[in-house]
Chains A and B, each alone.
Chain A
Amino acid sequence: MSETELRVRALETVLTEKGYVEPAALDAIIQAYETKIGPRNGAQVVAKAWSDPAFKRSLLEDASKAVSTLGHVSRVGDHLVAVENTPLRHNMVVCTLCSCYPWEMLGLPPIWYKAAPYRSRAVKDPRGVLADFGVSLPKETEIRVWDSTAETRFLVLPMRPEGTDGWSEQQLAELVTRDSMIGTGFPKAPGAPS
């Protein structure tokens, strides 16, 4: 066992013996994160916005309120803002100070989102960061970077892929990637290998 693992176990034992926490409650928290949140929540919201113009309008106007009307992803709280990608403007989200991220929509953030290379460069050289992801945009496209410095959480609404006319929300949701909702990627193209 690593030194850190031993210390973490020691802390949990102390907190348990002192009556602050129940280990079963910690198990339940971990299980809830593993099973109840994840990018599929955000993907459903994006797919609905692609399919339902009225929902899209309400999402862009007040994302917290719009998402709270969807029973399956109702725990989003009061501080969600959805930002729309267009042919003229690409949005990208970062937290330069720590790791703020829309957990309820996207799950726990990946390591790169919380690490120094992304946090340091996203606000100064977003095109360089996108290149690290293999993403390139036309050079005239505006890149808008949203630094999550307060409790607002940002969800990028990517552009709907072409060739998806008539697709169901469920089919569309399959194309929505986590990175496309952070702004470091695009949705999958229809027919592309998953």
Chain B
Amino acid sequence: MNGVHDMGGMDGFGKVEPEPNEPMFHTEWEGRVLAMVRAMGAAGAFNIDTSRFYRETLPPNVYLNSSYYKKWFLGLEDMLVDKGYIAAEEVAAGHALAPAKPLKHGKFTVDDVERVMVRGKFGRDAQAPAKFKPGDRVRAKNIHPATHTRLPRYVRGHVGVVELNLGCSVFPDSAAMEAGENPQWLYTVVFDGAELWGPDADPTIRVSVDAFEPYLEPA
């Protein structure tokens, strides 16, 4: 979806302001939110792509005005309500009011913590031969899906070169919508600055994205 989360190339957000000695969490609740998202995901309530989709579908003003973990919290709440794990009235009441919905992997307990600290595996068996190889010129398709996609707007319609074949991987566009993993080939595609930003661009800049095969066509 063409949301405000897709920020590459936008102007007007100002300077980057690093915070000296930044703490891991700025308030205690930020840690609780992170932990709840990781726990409910590991318990099978949602996958990582769905959780990203819920954050990016927050209303633009909410997205831009909320801190990072506030976005995580709002996305988590919406997702758990939509999927029937909780009701909005329960959060308002601060207590469970209805029976639980079974989780795919059951209750998240202390024994499961080790598991969430290991990064997930997204590689899958190939469904078909790869269409592209390193060195191929490809165009990022001019597509504007209203649902989740990982093809940023700033590369759409532009021509780049395949640099790496990263293997076959879960396709976030499908997984986020809970339409199955639909594995697709994944490539690092590199673009010249001038191709993306026009003739006035700094000639020393090159930018790459990781692009799934359905995002690309031969150029």
> Contacts A11-B36, A98-B5, A111-B22: A29 and B210 contacting too (C-beta < 8 A)?
no
Count of chain B residues near A, Cβ 8 A: 91
Interface residues of B (CB under 8 A from A): 5-11, 13-19, 22, 24-25, 27-29, 31-36, 38-40, 43, 45, 52, 55-56, 64, 68, 70, 73, 76-77, 80, 85-86, 90-96, 99-100, 103, 107-110, 112-113, 116-123, 150-152, 154, 164, 166, 169-170, 172, 186, 188, 190, 196-197, 202, 204-212
Residue A52 at the chain B interface, CB threshold 8 Å:
no
Q: Decide yes or no: A119 and B210 within 8 Å by CB, A22-B108, A77-B120 being known contacts.
A: no
* Residue A76 CB within 8 A of the other chain: yes
Instruction: With A4-B29, A21-B36, A142-B206 as known contacts, state yes or no: A97 contacts B150, CB within 8 Å.
Output: yes
Distance (Å) between the CB of A133 and the closest chain B CB?
A: 7
CA distance A5 to B31 in the complex (A): 11
Residues of A within 8 A of B10 (CB): 116, 120
Are the CB atoms of B34 and A29 closer together than 8 Å? yes
> CB-CB < 8 A to A97: which residues of B?
5-8, 52, 56, 150, 152
State whether A133 touches B6 (Cβ < 8 A). no
Contact A32 B113 (CB under 8 A): yes
Roughly how many angstroms separate A96 CA and B10 CA in the complex, as a whole number? 10
Q: Are A33 and B34 in contact (CB-based, < 8 A)?
A: yes
